[in-house]
Chains A and B, each alone.
Chain A
Amino acid sequence: MQAKISVQNVSYTYADGTEALKHVSLTIRANEIFVLFGPARSGKTTLLRLFNRLSDLTPGADYRGTILVDGQDVFALGVNVTDLRRRIGMVFAVPTPLPGSIRGNLTYGPHMAGIRDTALLNERIERSLTQAALWDEVKDRLDHPASRLSGGQKQRLCIARSLMLEPEVLILDNPTSGLDPISTSMVEESLYELKQQYTVIMVPHSVQQGARVATRAAFMLDGELVEIDTAERMFKHPKDQRTEDYITGRFG
């Protein structure tokens, strides 16, 4: 299978001297659910924010190595960053609807890209909300404030908001951290739907969640990639002792 994202020997040090990533190399394939797991501060979010260059918002860091998306170096000169971010959608750990209506949240990305055709937008709104398993709950109140939704609804709205841009890759950075079990399972279910069309990269809330959803998985520890394998082998027969210790709950 072809490499969607290829991380080659990437190291990353924040302005304050924290070494967040140390010589990480891995490959993410198209149309898989790639799970990136490990204890807090192991460098997962730092790595994900390099894929769509949200890392640009944290100046002063030292970055080495190469990240290719479809064979194109994302840090090369002349790369259109806004276009890159439209191709790689991102959902954050805390649900972050923007102030305004549900519809306003959904159309924000397309509007910024200059898409204003109402018919096209309405079609995308329905499809995105359906894929994020939220359509039935909000279809009659699209113009209500997004802030009145429940936590789980907000997070699914954020997923739908990313899908509005029809990205190729969807990054979910611990998307169920603040959600109750029912909302969590709804978000998880929507992932299988998404996998058909998108490459999904996810930081799971727990090892169990990772094992439930992953096609392939990578275990990170202290900024290093410890192990990368299919979900089957990773969660049942890890090769590295540290992975096994983490999965079985001996630390972390």
Chain B
Amino acid sequence: MLSCKQVATIASDYLDKSTPLKWQIRLHLLMCANCRRFVRHMKITRELSKQMVLNKTADDVDTIWNKVQQRIKQDSQSD
């Protein structure tokens, strides 16, 4: 049977459905309350992350666009 350390090491793969050890993990989870909690917490963390919004850039689109245009001009002059 898998150890708790092994389950903790591959918990992401289990949640991402990318481990061939799915049934061994399930068997372990049936018997181990700590690992059930650990995997549940990881699942919550993953769900929370899905809804996170990255910090937006301080520059507005016009400023960025103008800088890009300037660089394109510079590049074409140096070509």
Tell whether A pairs with B: no
